[in-house]
A and B are shown apart, each in its own frame.
Chain A
């Protein structure tokens, strides 16, 4: 069965620090990959997505992610975090059939001033 792993459960960074959140998936076929963000008290919003093509994808608010097929990874990066990036971040994968998403357990990011 498909699974998604996020190894960082809680990350605390100071403002302006660089961010990298890990995401690994287990599925050998064609896979679509997503990063969603959930700000406190809000619903999930799409940060970025990878379907095909350039493995480096850019999303909203300065976030980017790199798809490395050989490592089954889709890590999220941001060069300089802001206090407003405090949120929970979810990596997710779908195989295209019915577009069902399998989510990782999430990473809670806390950015301090």
Chain B
């Protein structure tokens, strides 16, 4: 089992370009999350999906959109990239809402010039 996979691993964008970060899980988990990691700031929640068909904003949703395509896949879209979105993006999954731990993917390092 691959667990949580993310594509691409690295990406460089120019300001104003758009892209979609992909996340897939084979753990049969209900909940999925997108975080960004910035130096000195830990991880901050961008969006999450508590179950298939639902999505909700996290702490820093501005400039992003998400799609929960099915139970396995949760994508993050940057419509018009900005240098402030340079970060490492992590996808995570969780069995469900409640007392469960999250499992993280390997991350996507995005640079916006």
Contact = CB atoms under 8 A, between A and B. Distances in A.
Q: Do they bind each other?
A: yes
B42 A34 contact: no
Nearest to B99: A51
Interface stretch (B18-26, B78-86, B89-97): B89-97
Interface stretch (A13-21, A68-76, A79-87, A91-99): A91-99
B37 to A, nearest CB: 9
Interface residues of B, number: 28
Contact of B43 (A9, A32, A52, A101): A101
B101 A49 contact: yes
Given A100-B48, A103-B43, 8 more contacts: A9-B40, A34-B101, A42-B106, A43-B104, A99-B100, A102-B45, A103-B44, A105-B42
Interface of A: 4, 6, 9, 32, 34, 36, 42-46, 49, 51-52, 90, 92, 96-106
> Closest 8 interchain pairs by CB?
A103-B42, A51-B99, A44-B104, A103-B43, A105-B42, A43-B106, A43-B104, A99-B94
